[in-house]
């Protein structure tokens, strides 16, 4: 009898596996606990034949309403479909163009939750995704105080993670692959892939530092590694609270039986020697400014999500 398990099964022993997709028809094959979406993933999904009717139906039902309301209703429609398949939570993102507007982000988060509640979805099954700007983190703190849980995304710098912990947000999504991309591009011809793989990967090192810091100081915020480029980045973070993974990489894990061991360990982190850090607005902005990678990738990510939000609006107008 073959008792060997694949890497996806092994990973689930240490980490909550989350599917990173708007393509909910792929979810059942991988049995994730949670799922995440973002404007780019929803844009990609609605352009597929399988999902075009969902776009047209939502637009027809709410034609004449404000564009931002139609967008939110479409996002919630996808979220509800996802929640009918998975047992856990779905993350739905606030418009990236509101990343520097605390008040507007709070209002948008509250509306998204109200739309889910109108469909009979409990608040605890939804995470409102917000960019990890100073304004976004303050908005998330306000939402959490109202009982609305948040997922702080576009997180690249350690100071962003510390500020999110201070704000007592539910979950953060540090972007492993995009950190890796920046350092690889920066190194140019000097980059040696084999030397920068696994635990040496700069994206993996970033998430490991955040995870260890949170566990050392008893910060309850969940750490969910995101934006992976390869399976090695995922296996090097086995033991992280959660990992959100694309269907392609989930399939690769499911097809591999190479043994997988736990890499991150809360008990070991608690024994580490490190000092606590705290930020106010001025020191946060200075720390982020001092981190060229974090500054550049945050700005780039907001621009990209904002551009995809505009493209989605154009599809809605044409539907």
Encoding tokens for residue 43? 């844009």
What is the Rg, in whole angstroms, of the alpha carbon atoms belonging to the chain? 19
How far apart are the C-alpha atoms of 279 and 285, rounded to whole Å? 9
Catalytic residue among 31, 129, 168, 268: 129
Strand 171-174, strand 16-20: pairing:
unpaired
Residue 297 annotated in active site: no
Cβ contact 176:237 at 8 Å: yes
DSSP secondary structure string for all residues of 223-278: EEEB--SSHHHHHTTTTSSEEEE-HHHHHHHHT--S-------HHHHHTS------
Residue 53: count other Cβ atoms within 10 Å of its Cβ: 9
Residue with tokens 């352009």: 47
In whole angstroms, what is the distance from residue 134 CA to residue 60 CA?
Answer: 37
Strand locations in 136-293 (E) = 150-155, 171-174, 222-225, 242-245
- For the annotated catalytic residues, the residue numbers are 129
């Amino acid at each position: 009898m073959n008792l060997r398990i694949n890497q996806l099964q092994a990973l689930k022993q240490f980490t909550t596996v989350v599917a990173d997709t708007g393509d909910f028809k792929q979810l059942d094959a991988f049995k994730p606990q949670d799922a995440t979406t973002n404007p780019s993933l929803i844009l990609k999904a609605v352009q597929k034949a399988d999902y075009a009717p969902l776009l047209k139906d939502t637009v027809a039902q709410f034609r004449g309403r404000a564009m931002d309301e139609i967008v939110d209703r479409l996002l919630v429609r996808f979220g509800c479909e996802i929640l009918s398949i998975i047992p856990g939570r779905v993350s739905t993102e606030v418009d990236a163009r509101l990343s520097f507007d605390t008040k507007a982000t709070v209002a948008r988060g509250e509306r998204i939750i109200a739309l889910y509640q109108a469909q009979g979805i409990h608040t605890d099954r939804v995470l409102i995704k917000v960019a990890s700007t100073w304004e976004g983190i303050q908005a998330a703190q306000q939402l959490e105080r109202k009982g609305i849980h948040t997922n702080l995304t576009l997180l690249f710098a350690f100071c962003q993670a510390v500020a999110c912990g201070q704000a007592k947000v539910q979950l953060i999504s540090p972007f492993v692959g995009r950190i890796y991309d920046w350092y690889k591009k920066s190194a140019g011809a000097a980059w040696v892939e084999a030397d920068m793989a696994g635990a040496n990967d700069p994206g993996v090192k970033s998430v490991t530092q955040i995870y260890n810091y949170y566990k050392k100081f008893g910060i309850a915020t969940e750490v969910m590694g995101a934006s992976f480029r390869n399976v090695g980045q995922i296996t090097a973070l086995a033991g992280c609270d959660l990992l959100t993974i694309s269907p392609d990489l989930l399939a690769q894990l499911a097809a591999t039986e190479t043994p997988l061991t736990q890499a991150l360990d809360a008990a070991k982190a608690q024994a580490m020697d490190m000092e606590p850090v705290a930020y106010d607005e001025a020191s946060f902005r200075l720390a982020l400014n001092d981190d060229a990678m974090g500054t550049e990738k945050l700005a780039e990510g907001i621009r990209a999500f904002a551009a995809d939000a505009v493209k989605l609006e154009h599809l809605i107008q044409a539907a």
